[in-house]
Amino acid sequence: MTHSSIMVDVGKWPIFTLLSPQEIASIRKACVFGTSANEAIYITHNDEVFVFGLNCSNCLGTGDNQSTIVPKKLEALCGKKISSLSYGSGPHVVLCTEDGEVYAWGHNGYSQLGNGTTNQGITPVQVCTNLLIKKVVEVACGSHHSMALSFDGDLYAWGYNNCGQVGSGSTANQPTPRRVSNCLQGKMVVGIACGQTSSMAVVNNGEVYGWGYNGNGQLGLGNNGNQLTPCRVAALHGVCILQIACGYAHTLALTDEGLLYAWGANTYGQLGTGNKSNQLSPVQIMMEKERVVEIAACHSAHTSAAKTQSGQVYMWGQCRGQSVIFPHLTHFACTDDVFACFATPAVMWRLLSVGLLDLATSYCENRLKKLCQHIIKRGITVENAFSLLSAAVRYDAEDLEEFCFKFCVNHLTEVTQTTAFWQMDGPLLKEFIAKASKCGAFKN
């Protein structure tokens, strides 16, 4: 894994040109949302939360329906340390904090705010039912439904359910968070994503499940029938999926070996297959024989992006109104820039951390630790051992570091001949050699 640093510039999103240089300099995290990418939320270095933009459907959370080009503070969220945020096209916004609390506001015609009513949410309100005892680490929104993933791998869903996207087994709307079980019962979910009216989940053994609307094959099940409960994507049997991403009606999946799969709607070439035919089952997408480390899609756009191990960023699908049917190599340093410059609307596909990022911080820390453990369960290899060791050191995952170190020492000759070993930072290499020699690795 190459260790590259990049500076992400929020100025690439047109809406941020409204802010002064001082306001821009204060931003630590940000998200641009809305049907025309004209609403934004940002968090400052001292954890104050501000919103600005056109107040479509009262979605700024300021308590009134006024638009504002001057940032307004959301007092209810200041100091809360927001860790994950998602938005639906209703629009509504759902976020979670580092303490695992969930807040929501905005359009609520289908109970997508999870408070048991259908009343508009004009300010952020904590989602309490069934979630108070859970530490939520990730949230995801479809157009009018919402999901929350807890630290212990339980998944909750609520809101609009006309196609089964809440996974309850019926098509009745779900007014409060409900645990998604059925096939997920007893499984630990490690990643979630929503299309407009569909839902996807990855569990810790690398299996993928989908439910909800499937008219374009976006669930990857080989047919186009809707699913009212989670259904396993059987075609991915034998590969271990680490990350899942959903566009408006298509899905991308990334394996632990850096392979990319895509399925679903393909009107704009968003699958990257070289044509515009929908795919009902996963198809592998070639990326110049390079290992992919991150995939990006957003349920309000038909654009796809991926970043490879060497730091190259590709984009395809609907790019500024054009249909790009093969992955196209860009000059960008991160997938976020693809959405700033080419997605319609120019939204963000995730809550963006502003400032210096390395390759590994594109995943939130808890998730990376969980995913590393889940790679190892599937079998550490000579090829990936040193990359895993390096990730474990960076993330202070001591058990994992010890596990990887022992593996490297036991397979020393093979490991020292891998590319990953020679690409490693000097200090880490020296530390490894010193520690290995103390264990007697170099005795004749």
CA dist 44 and 42 (Å) reads: 7
Same domain, 290 and 407: no
Same domain, 406 and 303: no
Q: Is residue 24 part of a domain?
A: yes
User: Which DSSP helix (H) or strand (E) runs through 242?
Assistant: strand 241-246
Residue 138: DSSP 8-state: E
CATH number for the domain that contains residue 366: 2.130.10.30
Residues β-bridged to residue 69: none
Same domain, 169 and 110: yes
Same domain, 144 and 193: yes
Which residue from 120, 108, 263 is spatially nearest to 175, judged by alpha carbons?
Answer: 108
**The dihedral formed by the CA atoms of 305, 310, 312 and 315, expressed in degrees to the nearest 10:** -20
At residue 366, the pLDDT reads 56
At residue 377, the pLDDT reads 53
Same domain, 229 and 142: yes
| Rounded average pLDDT per 10-residue block, the chain, 444 residues | 48 91 92 91 95 82 88 96 92 95 96 96 95 96 97 97 98 98 94 98 96 98 98 96 96 95 98 98 90 94 94 96 96 94 92 60 53 64 85 76 87 88 85 89 76
Which residue from 219, 233, 337, 348 is spatially nearest to 278, judged by alpha carbons?
Answer: 219
At residue 359, the pLDDT reads 37
At residue 423, the pLDDT reads 80
Same domain, 214 and 292: yes
Q: Is residue 111 part of a domain?
A: yes
- Which amino acid is present at 338? V
Q: Is residue 366 part of a domain?
A: yes
User: Which DSSP helix (H) or strand (E) runs through 314?
Assistant: strand 313-319
CA dist 335 and 303 (Å) reads: 11
Q: Is residue 199 part of a domain?
A: yes
CA dist 343 and 58 (Å) reads: 24
Domain that holds residue 403: 380-438
CATH number for the domain that contains residue 425: 1.25.40.420
Of 323, 348, 373, the last residue of a domain is 373
Q: Is residue 193 part of a domain?
A: yes
At residue 3, the pLDDT reads 30
Same domain, 22 and 151: yes
SS3 51: strand
Q: Is residue 1 part of a domain?
A: no
Q: Is residue 23 part of a domain?
A: yes
Of 335, 353, 373, the last residue of a domain is 373
312 vs 140, 192, 333, CA distance in Å? 27, 25, 7
CA dist 245 and 411 (Å) reads: 35
Same domain, 132 and 72: yes
* 172's tokens: 């009745």
Q: Is residue 443 part of a domain?
A: no
SS3 182: helix
392 vs 32, 166, 362, 409, 440, CA distance in Å? 32, 35, 15, 16, 22
Of 353, 373, 393, the last residue of a domain is 373
SS3 408: helix
Which residue from 2, 20, 1 is spatially nearest to 10, judged by alpha carbons?
Answer: 20
For the beta sheet containing 352-353, the strands, ordered from the edge strand earlier in sequence to the opposite edge, are 68-73, 49-53, 39-44, 27-33, 352-353
Residues in the chain: 444
Same domain, 365 and 389: no
Same domain, 354 and 388: no
CA dist 171 and 159 (Å) reads: 11
CA dist 273 and 304 (Å) reads: 12
- How many structural domains are present in the chain? 2
Same domain, 411 and 313: no
Same domain, 419 and 283: no
At residue 358, the pLDDT reads 38
According to DSSP, the β-strands at 208-212 and 227-232 are antiparallel
